[in-house]
Amino acid sequence: PEPKSLHFIEEIVEADRASGKHGGRVLTRFPPEPNGYLHIGHAKSICLNFGLAKAYGGATNLRFDDTNPVKEDVEYVDSIREDVQWLGFQWKGEHYASDYFPFLYDYAEYLIQQGRAYVCDLTEAEIREYRGNFHTPGRPSPYRDRSPDENLDLFRRMKAGEFPDGSKVLRAKIDMASGNMNLRDPLMYRIRRAHHHRTGDDWCIYPMYDYAHGVSDAIETITHSICTLEFEDHRPLYEWFLEQDVEGKFFQRPLPRQIEFARLNLTYTVMSKRRLLQLVQDGVVRGWDDPRMPTICGLRRRGYTPEAVRAFAERVGVAKRDMVADVGLLEFCIREDLEKRAPRRMAVLRPLKVVITNMTEAEAFEVEVANHPDDPAMGTRKLPFTRELFIDQDDFREEAPRKWFRLAPGAEVRLRGACLVTCKEVVKDAAGAVMELRCEWDPASRGGNAPDGRKVKGTLHWVSAAHAVKAEVRLYEALFTQEDPMDVAEGQDWKTLLNPSSLEVLAEARLEPGLAEARPGERFQFERTGYFAVDADSQPGRPVFNRTVGLKDSWSK
């Protein structure tokens, strides 16, 4: 095979290894904020960070970026650990930015002593106003020239809880005229009396993301700190904070390097945790793991395999410009994986009764069918073929169009693995709805072909009425009707673009008998219908299946 060309981050890592920059070491981190469940965009970041480290004999830390006590929760921490493991990755260190609160505090005192940080009493609105905008330079805060001693005293009293929430902040003293707004004396700490899910009420001051993030990377001696593009403008700040360790008392050298890549977006869905949380809270979906959600747990429940998610992450690549991946590509990846590994089964989603009038009960027989057409190692199974069956309503048309090879009045079809049958009569109810088909079989066609060699094109799946398991089958479509649900007209709510038929529940499906035993998480191809996974809602003898993806590939690019 062609040697794979390197993406720009691999090139950076290879150059660093060639120059011996980190002694050949590669240590990356995946730094989720535990304020929601992980989604497919995070999966991209996980695959990138863990994949890169693995490729170069390095390791990856899992770091919970838990510096904002208000939105974070242990429920999310647990789900994140589970999802990363499910994707197939094992982290080296498990860290919490909150464990670094004492270190971050000490380093902040050091910055104050160096004259690099000051306590500011301006209100939030005043800070914004003083900061100016892209066209006007900012004005210095009247508190900017407080002495290090005064700042140190005030900062210690902030920590001790002497001041009310929001009354003071600690700011980095950088450059109020910088063209980069992030450098106009950004906030480092604010006062917030909030209970933290790990540190409890130990702290009433919390560090800001930009300050905490780079310092956390440096504490862990991360070599390559990969983040998404919106942090490009924050990179000078990331570097500034670390470089203020002028005496080298705090961090090991060389310092970590921030590298930005394009965030992954997906068509027909939203991806931000805030928006996903809204869907959950408003009851639009049943939870974070609703199979329509682009979350990792949603994809898992839907029947996705970790292999398919990893293959998707690989295929979308690593870009420097933001991109929107086609959800069809994601579906292509799961279809490709399940095509190989999912055992075949017969399942009738919308049952239509078929009675074989010229067959007696005693003539019922067993049919042996392959579990996979191309993989004999997957074995065979036996299915009862009886006088009363179900086929799918979609496989019958009273008025058959041209080239209709399925069942119609007078037409002959093959019932997979069993025999040929011809439709002789259509039984309807008073309203004219088709209730039952009365068919005749050709006993000489047992096994599926007639001895006279006559051609029968259509082959249908079926189940024996008396043996079939009744099941609920859930069919999913995209959550939104528009490719980019964020592309809404002014004043229009993005939620008006929700697809009202994203879930269809078929409560009367009939499955071949063995599927009664199927366990949550198991995946199958229902022949001619799609790939399905057993849902966690299944009860013994009453399975619930999710359609993972249909059989037809709609992705062509």
Q: Which positions lie near ligand ATP, rule CB under 6 A?
A: 31-33, 41-42, 44-45, 65, 227-228, 263-264, 271-273
455 flagged as catalytic: no
- The catalytic position among 173, 273, 292, 310 is 273
Asked whether the beta carbons of 348 and 392 are under 8 A apart, the reply is yes
Helices 209-219 and 101-113: angle between axes, nearest 10 degrees: 110
For ligand ATP, the closer CB: 99 or 109:
99
Q: Residue 64: name the closest of 79, 86, 43 by CA.
A: 79
Asked whether the beta carbons of 6 and 15 are under 8 A apart, the reply is no
> What is the closest distance, in whole angstroms, from the C-beta atom of residue 369 to ligand ATP in the complex?
43
For ligand ATP, the closer CB: 141 or 269:
269
For ligand ATP, the closer CB: 272 or 422:
272
Alpha-carbon distance 348 to 473, whole Å? Answer: 10
For ligand ATP, the closer CB: 9 or 154:
9
> What is the closest distance, in whole angstroms, from the C-beta atom of residue 311 to ligand ATP in the complex?
16
- The catalytic position among 10, 33, 82, 508 is 33
* Residue showing the smallest CB distance to ligand ATP in the complex: 41
Asked whether the beta carbons of 209 and 176 are under 8 A apart, the reply is no
Alpha-carbon distance 242 to 235, whole Å? Answer: 11
For ligand ATP, the closer CB: 49 or 525:
49
β-strand pairing of 264-266 with 323-325: parallel
Alpha-carbon distance 224 to 137, whole Å? Answer: 33
Print burial letters for 117-136: b (CB count within 10 Å at least 16), e (below 16). bbbbebeeeebeebbeeeee
For ligand ATP, the closer CB: 45 or 305:
45
> What is the closest distance, in whole angstroms, from the C-beta atom of residue 324 to ligand ATP in the complex?
10
DSSP secondary structure string, 466-504?
TTPEEEEEEEE--SBSSS-TT---TT--GGGGB-TTSEE
- The catalytic position among 263, 414, 474, 510 is 263
> What is the closest distance, in whole angstroms, from the C-beta atom of residue 357 to ligand ATP in the complex?
59
Alpha carbon of 20 to those of 14, 15, 223, 251, 514: distances in Å? Answer: 10, 8, 12, 19, 59
> What is the closest distance, in whole angstroms, from the C-beta atom of residue 8 to ligand ATP in the complex?
15
β-strand pairing of 351-356 with 434-441: parallel
> What is the closest distance, in whole angstroms, from the C-beta atom of residue 264 to ligand ATP in the complex?
4
Q: Both tokens of residue 403?
A: 């080239």
Alpha-carbon distance 239 to 193, whole Å? Answer: 29
Alpha-carbon distance 401 to 392, whole Å? Answer: 17
> What is the closest distance, in whole angstroms, from the C-beta atom of residue 106 to ligand ATP in the complex?
25
For ligand ATP, the closer CB: 273 or 461:
273
β-strand pairing of 187-191 with 169-172: antiparallel
> What is the closest distance, in whole angstroms, from the C-beta atom of residue 486 to ligand ATP in the complex?
12
Amino acid letter, residue 200:
G
For ligand ATP, the closer CB: 66 or 395:
66
Give 493: exposed, middle or buried? Use CB within 10 Å, 0-12, 13-18, 19+: exposed
> What is the closest distance, in whole angstroms, from the C-beta atom of residue 219 to ligand ATP in the complex?
17
Q: Residue 48: name the closest of 65, 77, 76, 28 by CA.
A: 28
Sign of CA dihedral 242, 247, 253, 254: positive
Beta-bridged to residue 105, according to DSSP, are none
Amino acid letter, residue 517:
E
For ligand ATP, the closer CB: 271 or 475:
271
Query: What residues are annotated to the active site?
Result: 33, 263, 273
